[in-house]
Structure 1
Amino acid sequence: MKLKWLTLPLIAILAGLAGLYSYAHTLPSLAFPLKSINAFALSDGGSLTIELADAKGNEFYFGIKGDLETPREMYPSFYMRTFLGIPLMVTPEIGSAEELKLAGFAKKLAEKNLSPSSLEKVKNSDLDGLSKSELSYAVIYSIYSSLSERHASN
Protein backbone atom coordinates (compact mmCIF):
# COMPACT_ATOMS: atom_id res chain seq x y z
CA MET A 1 0.00 0.00 0.00
CA LYS A 2 1.54 3.28 -1.11
CA LEU A 3 -0.29 5.45 1.46
CA LYS A 4 1.42 3.92 4.51
CA TRP A 5 3.78 6.88 4.76
CA LEU A 6 0.74 9.10 5.47
CA THR A 7 -0.45 7.07 8.45
CA LEU A 8 1.97 8.40 11.08
CA PRO A 9 1.64 12.09 10.09
CA LEU A 10 -2.16 11.80 10.05
CA ILE A 11 -2.17 10.19 13.50
CA ALA A 12 0.13 12.95 14.78
CA ILE A 13 -2.13 15.66 13.34
CA LEU A 14 -5.25 14.07 14.83
CA ALA A 15 -3.56 13.71 18.23
CA GLY A 16 -2.47 17.36 18.08
CA LEU A 17 -5.98 18.53 17.20
CA ALA A 18 -7.47 16.41 20.00
CA GLY A 19 -4.97 17.93 22.46
CA LEU A 20 -5.75 21.45 21.27
CA TYR A 21 -9.49 20.81 21.61
CA SER A 22 -8.97 19.45 25.12
CA TYR A 23 -6.82 22.45 26.08
CA ALA A 24 -9.39 24.94 24.75
CA HIS A 25 -12.27 23.24 26.59
CA THR A 26 -10.52 23.02 29.97
CA LEU A 27 -10.98 25.85 32.44
CA PRO A 28 -7.58 27.02 33.71
CA SER A 29 -6.01 26.58 37.11
CA LEU A 30 -5.00 30.16 37.80
CA ALA A 31 -1.73 30.98 39.55
CA PHE A 32 -2.48 33.55 42.25
CA PRO A 33 -2.13 36.42 42.84
CA LEU A 34 -3.62 37.61 39.59
CA LYS A 35 -1.43 40.11 37.69
CA SER A 36 -4.41 41.88 36.22
CA ILE A 37 -8.16 41.68 36.06
CA ASN A 38 -10.29 43.83 33.81
CA ALA A 39 -14.07 43.77 33.74
CA PHE A 40 -16.19 45.19 30.97
CA ALA A 41 -19.95 45.75 31.06
CA LEU A 42 -20.83 46.78 27.53
CA SER A 43 -23.83 48.82 26.43
CA ASP A 44 -24.65 46.45 23.56
CA GLY A 45 -27.55 44.96 25.45
CA GLY A 46 -25.89 43.11 28.28
CA SER A 47 -22.43 41.76 27.44
CA LEU A 48 -20.15 41.15 30.42
CA THR A 49 -16.50 40.30 29.79
CA ILE A 50 -13.65 39.47 32.14
CA GLU A 51 -10.00 39.56 31.12
CA LEU A 52 -7.55 37.88 33.52
CA ALA A 53 -3.79 37.41 33.65
CA ASP A 54 -2.48 35.13 36.38
CA ALA A 55 0.87 35.28 38.20
CA LYS A 56 2.52 33.24 35.42
CA GLY A 57 1.20 35.57 32.71
CA ASN A 58 -1.41 33.13 31.38
CA GLU A 59 -4.40 34.97 29.95
CA PHE A 60 -8.01 33.86 30.22
CA TYR A 61 -11.19 35.60 29.09
CA PHE A 62 -14.80 34.75 29.84
CA GLY A 63 -18.22 36.30 29.94
CA ILE A 64 -21.67 36.57 28.43
CA LYS A 65 -22.41 37.95 24.95
CA GLY A 66 -25.59 40.01 24.99
CA ASP A 67 -27.48 41.95 22.37
CA LEU A 68 -30.64 44.00 22.14
CA GLU A 69 -32.69 41.39 20.29
CA THR A 70 -32.09 38.25 22.37
CA PRO A 71 -33.80 37.55 25.72
CA ARG A 72 -31.32 37.78 28.62
CA GLU A 73 -31.71 34.11 29.55
CA MET A 74 -30.58 33.15 26.03
CA TYR A 75 -27.33 35.17 26.01
CA PRO A 76 -24.52 32.74 25.19
CA SER A 77 -21.58 32.42 27.53
CA PHE A 78 -18.02 32.11 26.28
CA TYR A 79 -14.50 31.59 27.45
CA MET A 80 -11.20 31.90 25.69
CA ARG A 81 -7.62 30.83 26.23
CA THR A 82 -4.65 31.50 24.01
CA PHE A 83 -2.21 28.98 22.58
CA LEU A 84 0.98 30.46 21.13
CA GLY A 85 -0.85 33.78 20.86
CA ILE A 86 -3.77 32.26 18.97
CA PRO A 87 -7.16 32.80 20.65
CA LEU A 88 -9.18 29.61 21.21
CA MET A 89 -12.78 30.60 21.98
CA VAL A 90 -15.37 28.19 23.31
CA THR A 91 -19.09 28.96 23.40
CA PRO A 92 -20.77 26.34 25.60
CA GLU A 93 -24.30 25.31 24.76
CA ILE A 94 -26.86 27.16 26.86
CA GLY A 95 -27.73 25.05 29.89
CA SER A 96 -24.89 22.58 29.29
CA ALA A 97 -22.63 21.00 31.90
CA GLU A 98 -19.73 22.98 30.42
CA GLU A 99 -21.62 26.22 31.08
CA LEU A 100 -22.32 25.07 34.64
CA LYS A 101 -18.57 24.51 35.15
CA LEU A 102 -17.96 28.07 33.94
CA ALA A 103 -20.53 29.32 36.47
CA GLY A 104 -18.73 27.42 39.25
CA PHE A 105 -15.39 28.86 38.12
CA ALA A 106 -16.81 32.40 38.25
CA LYS A 107 -18.38 31.82 41.68
CA LYS A 108 -15.14 30.51 43.21
CA LEU A 109 -13.15 33.36 41.72
CA ALA A 110 -15.54 36.03 43.04
CA GLU A 111 -15.99 34.49 46.48
CA LYS A 112 -12.24 33.97 46.94
CA ASN A 113 -11.47 37.62 46.22
CA LEU A 114 -14.35 39.49 47.87
CA SER A 115 -14.56 40.04 51.62
CA PRO A 116 -17.71 38.63 53.24
CA SER A 117 -19.20 42.12 53.62
CA SER A 118 -18.43 43.06 50.00
CA LEU A 119 -19.82 39.74 48.77
CA GLU A 120 -23.04 40.38 50.69
CA LYS A 121 -23.31 43.84 49.10
CA VAL A 122 -22.77 42.34 45.63
CA LYS A 123 -25.41 39.66 46.26
CA ASN A 124 -27.85 42.46 47.17
CA SER A 125 -26.88 44.50 44.07
CA ASP A 126 -25.48 47.27 46.27
CA LEU A 127 -22.28 48.39 44.54
CA ASP A 128 -21.81 51.64 46.48
CA GLY A 129 -18.47 51.90 48.23
CA LEU A 130 -16.79 49.03 46.37
CA SER A 131 -13.24 49.52 45.15
CA LYS A 132 -12.30 49.18 41.47
CA SER A 133 -11.01 45.62 41.98
CA GLU A 134 -14.12 44.70 43.98
CA LEU A 135 -16.27 45.99 41.10
CA SER A 136 -14.41 43.63 38.76
CA TYR A 137 -15.25 40.72 41.04
CA ALA A 138 -18.84 42.01 41.23
CA VAL A 139 -19.04 41.62 37.43
CA ILE A 140 -17.67 38.08 37.81
CA TYR A 141 -20.32 37.34 40.42
CA SER A 142 -22.96 38.77 38.07
CA ILE A 143 -21.81 36.33 35.37
CA TYR A 144 -22.10 33.51 37.90
CA SER A 145 -25.59 34.66 38.90
CA SER A 146 -26.82 34.82 35.30
CA LEU A 147 -25.46 31.38 34.46
CA SER A 148 -26.67 29.74 37.66
CA GLU A 149 -30.20 31.16 37.16
CA ARG A 150 -30.35 29.26 33.86
CA HIS A 151 -29.47 26.01 35.56
CA ALA A 152 -31.93 26.58 38.38
CA SER A 153 -34.74 26.89 35.83
CA ASN A 154 -33.70 23.72 33.94
Structure 2
Amino acid sequence: MFKSLALAALIAVLLAFLGFQYYITSVPELVEPIAVEDARFIEQDNSLIVTFQGSAGHRFTFGLRGDVTNEPEQTALFFIRNPDLVPYVYWPGFRSNDEKRVLELLEYWSESHLPADQLESFRQAEPDELMPDRLGGEAAAYRIYQVLEARN
Protein backbone atom coordinates (compact mmCIF):
# COMPACT_ATOMS: atom_id res chain seq x y z
CA MET A 1 0.00 0.00 0.00
CA PHE A 2 2.80 2.43 0.94
CA LYS A 3 4.65 1.73 -2.32
CA SER A 4 1.52 2.42 -4.34
CA LEU A 5 0.98 5.78 -2.62
CA ALA A 6 4.64 6.71 -3.08
CA LEU A 7 4.50 5.78 -6.75
CA ALA A 8 1.27 7.76 -7.25
CA ALA A 9 2.82 10.80 -5.52
CA LEU A 10 5.95 10.53 -7.67
CA ILE A 11 3.87 10.34 -10.86
CA ALA A 12 1.83 13.38 -9.75
CA VAL A 13 5.01 15.39 -9.06
CA LEU A 14 6.50 14.42 -12.41
CA LEU A 15 3.31 15.41 -14.23
CA ALA A 16 3.31 18.74 -12.39
CA PHE A 17 6.92 19.39 -13.46
CA LEU A 18 6.08 18.40 -17.02
CA GLY A 19 3.14 20.82 -17.09
CA PHE A 20 5.27 23.61 -15.64
CA GLN A 21 8.02 22.98 -18.20
CA TYR A 22 5.47 23.11 -21.01
CA TYR A 23 4.06 26.37 -19.63
CA ILE A 24 7.40 28.20 -19.52
CA THR A 25 8.59 26.95 -22.92
CA SER A 26 5.45 27.50 -25.01
CA VAL A 27 4.46 30.55 -27.02
CA PRO A 28 1.42 32.18 -25.39
CA GLU A 29 -1.78 33.17 -27.10
CA LEU A 30 -2.06 36.87 -26.35
CA VAL A 31 -5.49 38.50 -26.13
CA GLU A 32 -6.26 41.05 -28.86
CA PRO A 33 -5.07 43.69 -29.46
CA ILE A 34 -1.38 42.91 -29.22
CA ALA A 35 0.83 45.96 -28.70
CA VAL A 36 4.57 46.46 -28.63
CA GLU A 37 5.26 47.44 -25.04
CA ASP A 38 9.03 47.78 -25.27
CA ALA A 39 11.84 47.27 -27.77
CA ARG A 40 15.54 47.76 -27.43
CA PHE A 41 18.88 46.88 -28.95
CA ILE A 42 21.64 45.96 -26.52
CA GLU A 43 25.02 46.45 -28.17
CA GLN A 44 26.95 44.62 -25.44
CA ASP A 45 25.16 41.33 -26.15
CA ASN A 46 24.19 42.15 -29.74
CA SER A 47 20.59 41.46 -28.76
CA LEU A 48 17.40 42.80 -30.29
CA ILE A 49 14.59 42.45 -27.73
CA VAL A 50 10.85 43.13 -28.11
CA THR A 51 8.04 42.78 -25.56
CA PHE A 52 4.47 42.21 -26.71
CA GLN A 53 1.55 42.85 -24.39
CA GLY A 54 -1.96 41.53 -24.89
CA SER A 55 -5.05 43.39 -23.75
CA ALA A 56 -5.36 41.12 -20.69
CA GLY A 57 -1.97 42.41 -19.49
CA HIS A 58 0.05 39.29 -20.30
CA ARG A 59 3.52 39.99 -21.64
CA PHE A 60 5.73 37.98 -23.98
CA THR A 61 9.37 38.96 -24.39
CA PHE A 62 11.37 37.61 -27.32
CA GLY A 63 14.42 38.52 -29.31
CA LEU A 64 17.50 37.60 -31.28
CA ARG A 65 21.04 37.41 -30.02
CA GLY A 66 23.85 37.80 -32.50
CA ASP A 67 24.73 40.07 -35.41
CA VAL A 68 21.24 40.91 -36.67
CA THR A 69 22.57 43.23 -39.38
CA ASN A 70 25.45 41.29 -40.95
CA GLU A 71 24.78 37.63 -40.05
CA PRO A 72 21.06 37.34 -39.27
CA GLU A 73 20.90 33.65 -40.20
CA GLN A 74 23.23 32.84 -37.29
CA THR A 75 21.32 34.75 -34.63
CA ALA A 76 19.70 32.75 -31.84
CA LEU A 77 16.05 33.22 -30.95
CA PHE A 78 15.11 33.38 -27.28
CA PHE A 79 11.93 34.15 -25.41
CA ILE A 80 10.49 34.57 -21.94
CA ARG A 81 6.86 33.57 -21.74
CA ASN A 82 5.94 35.21 -18.44
CA PRO A 83 8.80 37.36 -17.11
CA ASP A 84 6.81 38.43 -14.04
CA LEU A 85 6.05 34.90 -12.84
CA VAL A 86 9.06 32.89 -14.02
CA PRO A 87 12.02 34.80 -15.52
CA TYR A 88 13.19 31.76 -17.49
CA VAL A 89 14.88 32.41 -20.83
CA TYR A 90 14.13 29.67 -23.36
CA TRP A 91 16.39 29.17 -26.37
CA PRO A 92 14.55 27.11 -29.00
CA GLY A 93 16.62 25.36 -31.65
CA PHE A 94 17.09 26.67 -35.16
CA ARG A 95 14.08 25.88 -37.36
CA SER A 96 12.35 24.15 -34.44
CA ASN A 97 8.59 24.04 -33.92
CA ASP A 98 8.90 26.65 -31.16
CA GLU A 99 10.73 29.00 -33.52
CA LYS A 100 7.99 28.47 -36.10
CA ARG A 101 5.33 29.29 -33.49
CA VAL A 102 7.05 32.61 -32.74
CA LEU A 103 7.23 33.21 -36.50
CA GLU A 104 3.48 32.52 -36.81
CA LEU A 105 2.73 34.95 -33.96
CA LEU A 106 4.85 37.65 -35.62
CA GLU A 107 3.28 37.00 -39.01
CA TYR A 108 -0.22 37.29 -37.55
CA TRP A 109 0.76 40.44 -35.63
CA SER A 110 2.32 42.13 -38.67
CA GLU A 111 -0.64 41.38 -40.93
CA SER A 112 -3.37 42.31 -38.45
CA HIS A 113 -1.86 45.07 -36.31
CA LEU A 114 0.33 47.11 -38.64
CA PRO A 115 -1.25 49.67 -40.99
CA ALA A 116 -0.75 48.76 -44.66
CA ASP A 117 1.47 51.78 -45.38
CA GLN A 118 3.71 51.07 -42.39
CA LEU A 119 3.98 47.39 -43.31
CA GLU A 120 4.98 48.32 -46.86
CA SER A 121 7.60 50.79 -45.61
CA PHE A 122 9.06 48.06 -43.37
CA ARG A 123 9.23 45.69 -46.34
CA GLN A 124 11.07 48.30 -48.40
CA ALA A 125 13.46 49.35 -45.61
CA GLU A 126 17.04 48.20 -45.36
CA PRO A 127 17.60 45.64 -42.56
CA ASP A 128 19.82 47.96 -40.49
CA GLU A 129 17.05 50.60 -40.52
CA LEU A 130 14.61 48.30 -38.71
CA MET A 131 15.98 49.00 -35.26
CA PRO A 132 14.07 50.40 -32.28
CA ASP A 133 16.22 53.52 -32.02
CA ARG A 134 15.47 54.43 -35.65
CA LEU A 135 11.88 53.43 -36.40
CA GLY A 136 10.46 52.22 -33.09
CA GLY A 137 9.41 48.95 -31.53
CA GLU A 138 7.17 47.85 -34.39
CA ALA A 139 10.16 47.98 -36.74
CA ALA A 140 12.24 45.85 -34.36
CA ALA A 141 9.47 43.24 -34.15
CA TYR A 142 9.20 43.22 -37.93
CA ARG A 143 13.00 42.78 -38.24
CA ILE A 144 12.83 39.70 -36.01
CA TYR A 145 9.97 38.46 -38.21
CA GLN A 146 12.12 38.95 -41.35
CA VAL A 147 15.03 36.99 -39.87
CA LEU A 148 12.82 34.09 -38.77
CA GLU A 149 10.94 34.05 -42.07
CA ALA A 150 14.18 33.86 -44.08
CA ARG A 151 15.44 31.04 -41.87
CA ASN A 152 12.25 28.97 -41.94
User: How far, CA to CA, are the matches of 2:7 and 2:117 in structure 1?
Assistant: 60
Runs of at least 5 residues in structure 1 that lack an aligned partner in the other structure: none
Aligned twin of 2:86: 86
Residue type of the alignment partner of 2:94: I
Deviation at 1:12, TM superposition (A): 1.1
Deviation at 1:4, TM superposition (A): 3.1
TM-score, scaled to structure 1: 0.79
Total equivalences in the alignment = 146
Deviation at 1:35, TM superposition (A): 6.6
Give the CA RMSD over aligned residues: 2.9
Deviation at 1:89, TM superposition (A): 2.6
Per-residue CA distance 1:6-32 (angstroms, 9 max, x = gap): 212211111111111222232111112
In structure 2, relative to structure 1, the CA distance for the partners of 1:110 and 1:102 (3 Å cut) is same
What secondary structure is seen at the aligned counterpart in 2 of 1:89? Answer: coil
In structure 2, relative to structure 1, the CA distance for the partners of 1:100 and 1:14 (3 Å cut) is same
What secondary structure is seen at the aligned counterpart in 1 of 2:88? Answer: strand
Runs of at least 5 residues in structure 2 that lack an aligned partner in the other structure: none
Identity between Structure 1 and Structure 2 (%): 25
Residue type of the alignment partner of 2:19: G
Aligned twin of 1:42: 42
TM-score, scaled to structure 2: 0.80
Answer 1 or 2: higher relative contact order, Cα 8 Å, separation at least 6: 2
Question: Is the Cα contact below 8 Å between 2:60 and 2:83 reproduced in 1?
Answer: no
Aligned twin of 1:61: 61
Aligned twin of 2:26: 26
